[in-house]
A and B are shown apart, each in its own frame.
Chain A
Amino acid sequence: GAGVSQSPRYKVAKRGQDVALRCDPISGHVSLFWYQQALGQGPEFLTYFQNEAQLDKSGLPSDRFFAERPEGSVSTLKIQRTQQEDSAVYLCASSFHIAYEQYFGPGTRLTVT
């Protein structure tokens, strides 16, 4: 079946622009996670949803980062006034339940120039 999909796969933004990254989780998966992966590093947790509820946003690096999942399915990660340090791969993962295996999408590579 279809896995987690993310769009766009690549995004180049000028510093100061806003960007929106989309995640389509596996159908029926209740839990959805966003991670940020800097070059040469492991992914770092950003935020977690259970259905439409954002239960943990402790990893969001600043108030420029905002995530939503209004209908409990597709999620969008928005970054306002992008900075160069925001350049990274943004990974989305979903799981049937918080305690189950997380399935990762291919990521969106964001480059801020």
Chain B
Amino acid sequence: GESVGLHLPTLSVQEGDNSIINCAYSNSASDYFIWYKQESGKGPQFIIDIRSNMDKRQGQRVTVLLNKTVKHLSLQIAATQPGDSAVYFCAENGRDKIIFGKGTRLHILP
């Protein structure tokens, strides 16, 4: 069945360094992916999305890379800041629902 999962449950990064969060998906028919950030006590917040006809998309301090050959997504956060501490989910936008992976918790070290 469909599944979107993550390689690592937690990631610790020094403040100011770049963070890379990885995600694997299993449905080769998936054509639209989203990264969400979820802070404690809040709902998921949209960060950036990418469609399957692209392999890279950049936002403000964030970049998403899509490798369809190996069914892999990554989220890169440049110059990680304390406010980036959160759980990050990759998700597939299905027909009428979002299918979330399990999440990676990002810890920022001072």
Residues of A with Cβ closer than 8 Å to B? 4, 33, 35, 40-45, 48, 55-56, 59, 91, 93, 98, 101-107
- Per CB-CB distance, the 10 closest pairs between chain A and chain B, nearest first, are A104-B43, A42-B100, A45-B97, A48-B96, A104-B44, A43-B100, A56-B96, A42-B89, A105-B43, A91-B43
Number of interface residues of B (CB under 8 A): 17
Q: B45 contacts A104, CB within 8 Å?
A: yes
What 1/0 flags go to B66-110 for Cβ under 8 Å of A? Answer: 000000000000000000000001010000111111110000000
The answer to whether the Cβ of B42 comes within 8 Å of any Cβ in the partner chain is yes
Kindly report which residue of chain B lies nearest to residue A9, judged by CB atoms: B41
**What A residues does B43 contact at CB under 8 A?**
4, 91, 93, 104-107
Between A and B, 5 residue pairs with Cβ closer than 8 Å are A4-B43, A40-B102, A56-B97, A104-B43, A104-B45
User: How far is it, in angstroms, between the C-alpha of A70 and the C-alpha of B97 when the chains are bound?
Assistant: 21
Q: Are A41 and B44 in contact (CB under 8 A)?
A: no
Interface on B for A, CB 8 Å cutoff? 41-46, 49, 89, 91, 96-103
Is the beta-carbon distance between A98 and B96 smaller than 8 angstroms? yes
Nearest-Cβ distance from residue B4 to partner chain A, whole angstroms:
8
Establish whether residues B45 and A55, one from each chain, have CB atoms under 8 Å apart when the complex forms: no
CB-based contact A106/B96 at 8 Å: no
- Chain A residues positioned under 8 Å from B49 (CB to CB): 101
With a cutoff of 8 Å between Cβ atoms, the chain B residues found around residue A48 in the complex are 96-97
Instruction: Give bound CA distance, A98 to B97, whole Å.
Output: 9
* Minimum CB–CB distance for B12 against chain A, Å: 17
Q: Name the distance in Å between A96's Cβ and chain B's nearest Cβ.
A: 13
